[in-house]
């Protein structure tokens, strides 16, 4: 079993069932741990290590792990004591047959499932289970949803349009992020070169990427640089390289964290010393004046071979 094969298994399951960000992040973390253990069939890992690596709570970890077990991606055997960690292994069955549930369900499994249109009968059973689970969630919140006021589509667009543009760093006139396909490709190539597997690009990740690119574009355009494709790729790669060199960010290398720590990463590029501590907060150090910071940015980016030309005005 290789990292590529395990990634393909996740994609197949993701096309059938909805997995949230925590569940996918846990799966990728387990793949990375298995890679460090030289692809053994079974490996141990503590809940504390997974919680700290993914920045999630105990309940979120347990819920994400149970979901991965139910859709047939992994198996897990709990440790018999606090000194013995749980044992994980990846499910190698072709149909991703779900494991037996540990908790009782109010709804019983259908005794005569419908004939599958595609795939095996196991696929239909899993689909029935996921559908029942989603129906329970809808029923649970139906009362509150009925009493909630209905907003018009036009009002909703007016409320959401301005914050979205401000958060992503894109002006309303542009509407889209310049060189977007090249930026996505740069992110995927950089991540795969460092972590072997492809990054997750769902949920908030695309918005975080747009926000980072928007901030970098604004930084250079304010200094009269033309935001060309070559300049965008070069400076974004420089940004990723600086972020990945940091200890905490290298262990939590997702776009959402890079967006949240944008200022700290930029400071590290400027002075070459400051980074992040093990809690992901900017490290303390000697202050950098605004004048010297702007001078260093201008000299650094005008001296690099990124292909950007400074506009004369």
Strand runs labelled E in the chain: 43-45, 74-77, 86-90
Rounded to whole angstroms, how far apart are CA atoms 244 and 240?
A: 6
Rounded to whole angstroms, how far apart are CA atoms 128 and 20?
A: 19
Contacts of 29 (CB under 8 A, 6+ apart): 50, 53, 54
Q: How far apart are the first and last CA of the chain?
A: 58
Contacts of 263 (CB under 8 A, 6+ apart): 282
Q: Which residues does residue 225 pair with via DSSP β-bridges, in sequence order?
A: 310
What domains are defined for the chain? 3-103 (1.10.10.10), 157-303 (no CATH)
For residue 4, what pLDDT is reported? 85
For residue 293, what pLDDT is reported? 56
Rounded to whole angstroms, how far apart are CA atoms 36 and 307?
A: 38
Evaluate the CA torsion angle 67, 73, 77, 78 in order and state its sign.
negative
CA dihedral (99, 104, 105, 110) in degrees, to 10, reads 60
Rounded to whole angstroms, how far apart are CA atoms 169 and 165?
A: 6
Q: Using CB atoms within 10 A of its CB, is residue 197 exposed (0-12), middle (13-18) or buried (19+)? A: middle
For residue 274, what pLDDT is reported? 43
Q: Using CB atoms within 10 A of its CB, is residue 182 exposed (0-12), middle (13-18) or buried (19+)? A: middle
**How far is CA 226 from its chain centroid?**
30
Structure-block tokens of residue 97: 């047959």
Sheet holding 74-77, edge to edge: 43-45, 86-90, 74-77
Of 168, 172, 272, residue with least CA distance to 216: 168
Q: Please, what are the averages of pLDDT over each run of 10 residues along the chain (313 residues)? A: 84 90 91 89 90 92 93 88 86 56 46 43 53 64 53 49 41 65 94 92 92 93 91 93 91 92 89 50 46 57 54 55
Inter-residue long-range contacts of 254-262, CB under 8 Å, 24+ positions, other chains counted: 254/25, 254/199, 254/200, 254/205, 254/208, 255/187, 255/199, 255/204, 255/205, 255/208, 255/209, 255/212, 256/204, 256/205, 256/208, 258/208, 258/212, 259/208, 259/211, 259/212, 262/211, 262/212, 262/215
């Amino acid at each position: 079993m290789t990292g590529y094969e395990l990634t393909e298994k996740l994609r197949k399951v993701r096309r059938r069932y909805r997995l949230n960000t925590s569940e996918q992040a846990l799966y990728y973390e387990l793949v990375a741990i298995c890679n460090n253990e030289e692809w053994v069939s079974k490996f141990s890992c503590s809940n504390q290590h997974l919680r700290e690596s993914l920045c999630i709570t105990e309940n979120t970890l347990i819920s994400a792990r149970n979901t991965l077990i139910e859709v047939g991606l992994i198996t897990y055997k709990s440790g018999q004591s606090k000194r013995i960690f749980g044992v994980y292994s990846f499910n190698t069955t072709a149909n991703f047959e779900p494991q037996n549930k540990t908790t009782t369900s109010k709804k019983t499994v259908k005794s005569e499932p419908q004939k599958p249109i595609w795939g095996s009968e196991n696929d239909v059973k899993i689909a029935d289970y996921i559908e029942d689970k989603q129906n329970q969630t809808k029923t649970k919140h139906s009362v509150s949803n009925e009493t909630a006021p209905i907003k018009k589509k036009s009002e909703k667009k007016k409320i959401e349009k301005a914050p979205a543009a401000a958060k992503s760093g894109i002006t309303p006139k542009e509407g889209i992020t310049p060189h977007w396909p090249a930026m996505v490709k740069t992110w995927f190539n950089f991540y795969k070169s460092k972590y072997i597997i492809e990054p997750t690009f769902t949920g908030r990740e695309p918005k975080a990427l747009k926000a980072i690119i928007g901030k970098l574009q604004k930084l250079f355009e304010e200094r009269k640089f033309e935001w060309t494709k070559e300049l965008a790729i070069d400076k974004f790669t420089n940004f990723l390289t600086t972020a990945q060199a940091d200890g905490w960010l290298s262990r939590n290398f997702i776009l959402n964290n890079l967006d949240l720590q944008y200022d700290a990463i930029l400071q590290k590029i400027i002075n070459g010393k400051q980074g992040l501590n093990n809690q992901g907060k900017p490290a303390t150090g000697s202050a950098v004046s605004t004048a010297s910071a702007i001078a260093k940015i201008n000299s650094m980016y005008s001296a690099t071979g990124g292909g950007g030309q400074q506009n004369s005005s």
